[in-house]
Amino acid sequence: MSAAIPANQVKHRGRRFVWYLPAILITAVFAFPLYWIGSMAFKPARIVQNYPPSFRFSPTLDNFRQVFDSTYPDAMRNSLIIAVGTAVFSVFCATLTAYGLSRHNFRRKDNLLFWILSLRMLPAVAVIVPYSRMVRWFDLQDTYAAMILVYSIFNISFSVWLLKGFFDEIPKEMEEAARIDGYGPWKVFTDVAVPLVIPGIATALVFSIIFSINEFLLAFVLTQREAVTAPVALTNVFITTFGVNWGGLSAAAMVLVAPVIVFAVLVRNHLLRGMSFGQLD
């Protein structure tokens, strides 16, 4: 290997590094909380609250042992069931709704579309009291069904908008061709339209799962024992009247966040394609 690099390439590399610098700084700002949680999760209990913080310590798994000995794993299971249930239910409904809205024109369609989007804009605090009344009327307090229904209100609206964009992109000739080929409307939907929007469906599922895993306020009000989700359990188990168990809290947060991060990294290509409203060839 020759060490001689042309002068202009050196300059080029130098310039590229200049552009990386702000990117690295910005990333550092956003990544710092994750680092902080991660380091606290491995700190022995007696130094967690040291000030100034100790950066050098011998890591321990005690905090994780506490997490798995508590009721937290049950809450994680609840979160998973609710997240997957919400994702499947809301994306199924949204796919049907988005297809209908994409293919048919009718009076006040714009108003309907805006109303659907506005459901997503509602701050949870604004609707939490009526929602808890409604859940009680239906006798669904502290159940998976209640959480899935309430989360779906937010996720259906987002997914409808996302998927309508995808359905709008399908050339109408593609479906006309399928009709001429001898298929009825339902088969055209399932065999032509849906396969073409799979990147959109994947994106909608991922967003829905992330929303449900992260949501705190609605779960805090609408669950008590049986359906408690991980973010709520985080506070129940580790923030007590005797004080805050920082080590346990951090370890629990890591356990919650790590799979989401791994998952997002795995599907990131799909997500990017989804967010750019994946042009069909």
Partner 1 sequence: MATVQLDHIRVDYDGKTVVHDVSFSVDDGEFAVLVGPSGSGKSTILRTITGYAPIDAGTVRIDGKDVTYAPVRERDIAMVFQNLALYPHLTVRQNWEFPLKAAKLPKAEQAKRVDDVARMLEMTPYLHRYPHQLSGGQKQRVAMGRALVRNPQLFLLDEPLGALDAKLRVEARSAFKTLQRDLGITTIYVTHDQIEAQALGTKIIVLNDGIVQQVGTPETIYDNPSNQFVAGLFGSPPMNLFDVDVSRDQGVLIAHRAEFSIALPPHLDIEGLGSGASTGAVLGVRPESLRLQARPGEDSIAATVFVVEPTGHQLIVDVKIQDLIVRVRADRGEEWIATLTPDEIVHVTFDRRRLFLFHRSSGDRVA
Q: Does 168 bind partner 1 (CB under 8 A)?
A: no
Among 107, 195, 242, 276, binds partner 1 (CB under 8 A): 195
Q: Does 202 bind partner 1 (CB under 8 A)?
A: no
Tokens for 192?
């032509």
User: Is there a contact between 213 and 260 (Cβ–Cβ < 8 Å)?
Assistant: yes
Q: Is 80 exposed, middle or buried (0-12, 13-18, 19+ CB in 10 A)?
A: middle
Question: Segment near partner 1 (CB under 8 A), from 13-21, 48-56, 124-132, 190-198?
Answer: 190-198
CB of 142 to partner 1, least distance (A): 43
User: Is there a contact between 99 and 189 (Cβ–Cβ < 8 Å)?
Assistant: yes
Decide: helix, strand or coil at residue 224.
coil
Q: Does 276 bind partner 1 (CB under 8 A)?
A: no
Q: Does 123 bind partner 1 (CB under 8 A)?
A: no
Q: Does 173 bind partner 1 (CB under 8 A)?
A: yes
User: Is there a contact between 128 and 221 (Cβ–Cβ < 8 Å)?
Assistant: yes
Question: Segment near partner 1 (CB under 8 A), from 3-11, 42-50, 184-192, 252-260?
Answer: 184-192
With a CB cutoff of 8 Å and minimum separation 6, the contacts of 189 are 99
User: Is there a contact between 256 and 234 (Cβ–Cβ < 8 Å)?
Assistant: yes
Q: Does 182 bind partner 1 (CB under 8 A)?
A: yes
Q: Does 184 bind partner 1 (CB under 8 A)?
A: yes
Q: Does 281 bind partner 1 (CB under 8 A)?
A: yes
User: Is there a contact between 236 and 70 (Cβ–Cβ < 8 Å)?
Assistant: no
| Cross-strand bridge partners of residue 239 | 244
Tokens for 228?
């408690």
Q: Does 176 bind partner 1 (CB under 8 A)?
A: yes
Q: How many residues bind partner 1 (CB under 8 A)?
A: 20
Q: Does 217 bind partner 1 (CB under 8 A)?
A: no
C-beta closer to partner 1: residue 14 or 182: 182
Q: Does 14 bind partner 1 (CB under 8 A)?
A: no
Amino acid at 197: V
Buried b (16+ CB within 10 A) or exposed e, 131-163: beeebeeeebeebbebbbbbbbbbbbbbbbbbb
C-beta closer to partner 1: residue 191 or 226: 191
State the Cα–Cα distance between residues 200 and 163, nearest whole angstrom.
6
Q: Does 13 bind partner 1 (CB under 8 A)?
A: no
CB of 173 to partner 1, least distance (A): 4
Look-up of token digits 């050196």: 10
CB of 88 to partner 1, least distance (A): 22
- Contact residues toward partner 1 (CB under 8 A) are 171, 173-174, 176-184, 187, 191-192, 195-196, 198, 280-281
